[in-house]
Structure 1
């Protein structure tokens, strides 16, 4: 029997049991759709990070509290000890190879003004923050070093914060309240969307000295600076300087970690790969469950069609013909599930990117070619793997015994 004939018979058989066949495909559909969704979102996240690096340049260096979670042995410590001090900031800022630098404290709080309030991220920073990220002040001014040193109660609003609190009114010159303390608005930032997975339009910016006073903070969350040195050399010098500051002799005892933009890219890719492997493994369980469902339904099909199998064998059908027919049914069933899973996966990816894009600009839609190839190949392989045993059972039936079955 020709392969085309086997598939023609298989199609007719599946049409007769389309309801049962549709239910059987659900596991395959879920598994393939999940794989495409996970791989596509992972690739979109990597594109987003690469775009951010391209926008802000490759010469940014980040200094954060605690050890790098990806380099710790065993389970990462859930609570990172704060170790970056104003003394560290002043020492690092005074280096001739540091061009622009900011020291950052972040606190989530309610900003009250204009008769309403807005949940914002309060960023205590330095006047050099806009220089690092090419951020622009739309109206008014950013705070100065004099205001930083004098612990001035001034604030610069992100675009969303200003719009929500004051609408069409001019925000510059107005007062806003954080806790029980009033701050004068001296500027409003241009809308900038997302930066490293944070919506900067929902942030407000203040001298870090004022934030330390307001929230009783003594340590920074992180430093960011641009250097005149190559990123790797800037990283090496920063580590040496902070070890001296913190009286650390062994690098294994570092209570901070330094990353360049290349490190950020590599770590993001590592995390994306780990998450993709984990989630694809979970999705593979759906494929196995779907495959078991295919196998069970094929066994039922063989049992229901024993007399048909016996009659075909009596009329001259070979074992290979029967085997091919039932394998064709299994492959058609899983391939149809795979195609439907691909369609669902593409649709879910579009929805996910659309939702993420509402909160973080810069995410672009794209479907993983690896996911598509996986969907096509694996769906067919699942059909062959889980359909073989029922097909072999059908092929080995004795025609005389089969004809006797009612």
Structure 2
């Protein structure tokens, strides 16, 4: 039988039992759609996070609290070890162009009867140097503001719009928590950077944020170095160990109560998390595909049983076992490829819906259909058809024509 005739015959056979065929491919549809969803979201997440990392310059290093194992095995319980004294110590180093540290506080900010829940960042003056914040008006935090625990604030553009509309917010008062702060600066619209909506952020002196949160520990120290990163990292380790009274001549990261991260480290960590998520979702999809493949095999066995007389008649008029094997394999592949195609469409649609939902809360995500996922979807669905369709097809091919006709 020629290939076009074989394909037409297989298609007609599936159409005759279309309800059963649709139910049969559901497992394949779900499995392939899960693969597409996992890979597409994973690639979109990587693209988003890498775009956010553009604010993290190649000449910058971040000192984080806790040992390096904290980065390799993240825990919700972070060791508190960084203080303002650490940042002030680094400010004295001539080979560092800029030094800042931060405390994050989530709190209500209000003015004129309008209240918004925003991220409050307590920072040092060099924050604007490191991240190159564009100021629309006023000034950023000064070191005298930090030293005197001044209650002054720099507003993100959306915070200013929400609280003051078209009015100039400079020198106006806003309430953060239970304290009054005077607005000294307004930032231009920036969107998201380092996975933080800068337009809905309020910057205050680090010491003022410490007073608000009753927390004296910093969540990070970031530096901009004038020397090569490797040398800067080594110097930072020596300074931090001296400041924290840590004896660590063998450079054992477990003994340190801090770890230093470069942009390359951050990207590697992101890739690991994204890869782990994709593996998890793909494993779930693999289970669905396995169930779908078993379903295909069972239905094809039923189809062979129902069509014994047809098989006997075909073999009686000259069809070879190879022809029967090929027809049933073709039917199985048709089923799984159709399931794969619908799965790719469904997975892409679900990925698009997910990206739109994420963008509603965290703008900046782009929708991408994973080319790897599409190729993998068609390849896997074809292999499932060939693998799970082979045993029923082999059984059909081995049927004796006389015994098949007698079964009728």
After TM superposition, the score normalised by the length of structure 1 is: 0.94
Counterpart selection for 1:88 from 82, 86, 89: 86
Confirm or deny that 1:135 pairs with 2:158.
no
Residues in 2 aligned to 1:365 and 1:71: alpha-carbon distance in whole angstroms: 28
Distance 2:71 2:213 in 1: 31
Q: Do the aligned residues in 2 keep the contact of 1:153 with 1:210 (CA within 8 Å)? A: yes
Cα-to-partner distance string for 1:256-279 (whole Å, 9 max, x where unaligned): 111011111111112222221222
- Per-residue deviation at 1:56? 4.5
Report the TM-score when normalising by structure 2: 0.94
Equivalent pairs counted in the alignment come to 404
Counterpart mapping for 1:232-381 below 5 A: 232-250=230-248, 251=252, 252-381=254-383
Residues 311-342 of structure 1: CA deviation (Å, up to 9, x unaligned): 11112211111111111001011001111112
Q: 1:266 to 1:138 in 2, by over 3 A?
A: same
Residue 34 (structure 1) aligned with residue 34 (structure 2): yes
Deviation by residue 1:334-387 (Cα, 9 ceiling, x = unmatched): 001111112222222333333333333443332222112101111100111111
Runs of 4+ in 1 over 4 A off after TM superposition: 69-72
Which one of the candidate residues 191, 196, 199 is aligned to 2:197?
A: 199
Q: Give deviations 1:264-299, integer Å, cap 9, x for gaps.
A: 111111222222122211111111111111111111
* Counterparts in 2 of 1:276 and 1:238: CA distance versus 1, 3 Å: same
1:3/1:324 contact within 8 Å kept:
no
- Structure 2: distance between partners of 1:254 and 1:59: 23
Q: Which moved more, 1:177-186 or 1:376-385?
A: 177-186
CA distance in structure 2 between the aligned counterparts of 1:189 and 1:135, rounded to whole angstroms: 7
1:85-116, CA deviations, whole angstroms, 9 ceiling, x for partnerless residues?
12211111211111112110001111122202
The structure-2 alpha-carbon separation of the partners of 1:69 and 1:348, relative to structure 1 and needing over 3 Å to count, comes to farther
Give yes or no for the alignment of 1:162 onto 2:160: yes
Equivalent position SS for 2:245: coil
* Structure 1 unaligned spans of 5+: none
1:405 corresponds, among 398, 404, 407, to 407
Name the Cα RMSD after superposition. 1.8
Equivalent residues of 1:102, 1:125 under 8 A apart: yes
What is the deviation of 1:168? Answer: 2.7
Unaligned runs of 5+ residues in structure 2 are none
Q: CA deviation at 1:165?
A: 2.1
